[in-house]
A = this chain, B = another copy of it.
Amino acid sequence: MARYDFSAPRLYLEGDLAAGAPVPLSKDQAHYLTNVLRLGNGDLVLAFNGRDGEWRCTLEGRKASATLHPAETTRPQPAPAALQLLFAPLKHARLDYMVQKAVEMGAGVLQPVITRRTQAARVNEDRMRANAVEAAEQCGILAVPEVRPAARLDALLAGWDPARLMVFCDEDAEVADPLAALRAAPRGPAAVVIGPEGGFDEAERAALLALPRHLRLSLGPRILRADTAAVAALALVGAVLGDLAGG
């Protein structure tokens, strides 16, 4: 893989990207490009919207009237990632961090789950989306994960697709080779679920373990914070079942 050029300004847009169709910029976007980055007429910006791949664009106009003119595609849009990350929401900076890291690790869906021991009472979806977009912009990622509204774990499990593997990061599991467990798992769509820092309660554990396709994953002999567990689990799952393995 060629190194991604971090020096090129990269912007996520809501609008469509197509040759010959200028995209108006919001006030914030125009401010960022012209005042913060000090770009001017004709300067290069890479733009993506999560649907149309990445486009090399030129900036035209100034300030409030600035637009991006898509010139050519630089990378095609990848297929949406199938891997879901379910997590009990964390507070403040740790949630920001978890969202950013999940984007980097290739999660396709971010699903906050409310559990009996969940600490954060409310989940700010807009902030999660902003963090996901920022991580995608900074890391050259074209597929911005879908951020779903927070849902109760029991309701989610009641409607769970039985074909989807639930990888349950279980601190109470015996420490055993996580890779052997993943290699033995059925292939197909998968989700990783990270519990709250107080753990799932017994009824929640039982409901997870009652899913037809589930896997208890041990993440080693140390207790991990939830945001660390998310990155470690996505690395292991990606290396066995996902796109970290290449091919």
Interfacial residues, chain A to chain B (CB-CB below 8 A): 1-4, 6, 93, 97, 100-101, 104-106, 138-141, 171-179, 197-199, 218-225, 228, 231-236, 238-240, 242-247
CB distance from A88 to the nearest CB of B (A): 14
Kindly report how many copies of this chain are found in the complex they form together. Answer: 2
Return chain B residues, CB-CB under 8 Å to A233: 235
Question: Which residues of chain B are near A228, meaning CB under 8 Å?
Answer: 100-101, 104-105, 231
A224 to B198, CA, bound (A): 29
B residues less than 8 Å from A218 (CB atoms) = 1, 244, 246
Cβ-neighbour of A222 out of B106, B197, B220, B245 (below 8 A): B106
Q: Are the CB atoms of B222 and A140 closer together than 8 Å?
A: yes
Given A1-B175, A140-B222, A179-B179, 16 additional A-B pairs, CB 8 A: A1-B174, A3-B223, A4-B223, A6-B198, A93-B93, A104-B222, A104-B225, A104-B228, A106-B221, A178-B244, A179-B240, A218-B244, A220-B242, A220-B246, A221-B243, A231-B232
Contact for A235 among B140, B171, B177, B235, CB less than 8 A: B235
Q: Which residues of B contact A242 (CB under 8 A)?
A: 220
Task: Describe A's contact surface by its main secondary structure.
Answer: loop
Q: Which residues of B contact A246 (CB under 8 A)?
A: 174-177, 218, 220-221
Residues of B within 8 A of A240 (CB): 179
Q: A177-B239, A231-B235 are in contact. Are A244 and B223 (CB under 8 A)?
A: no
Given A1-B221, A172-B1, A228-B104; A239-B179 close (CB under 8 Å)? yes
User: A174 CA to B244 CA in the complex, in Å?
Assistant: 11
Rounded to whole Å, the gap between the CB of A233 and the closest CB of chain B is: 8
A223-B140 in contact given A175-B1, A179-B245, A236-B235 (Cβ < 8 Å): yes
Which chain B residues border A172 with CB–CB below 8 Å? 1-3
- The answer on a CB contact under 8 Å between A3 and B199 is yes
Please list 26 pairs of residues, one from A and one from B, whose beta carbons are closer than 8 Å in the complex, sorted by A's number: A1-B174, A2-B172, A3-B199, A4-B223, A100-B228, A104-B223, A104-B225, A104-B228, A106-B222, A139-B222, A139-B224, A140-B223, A175-B244, A177-B239, A177-B245, A177-B246, A178-B244, A178-B245, A179-B245, A220-B243, A221-B246, A228-B231, A232-B232, A232-B234, A232-B235, A236-B239
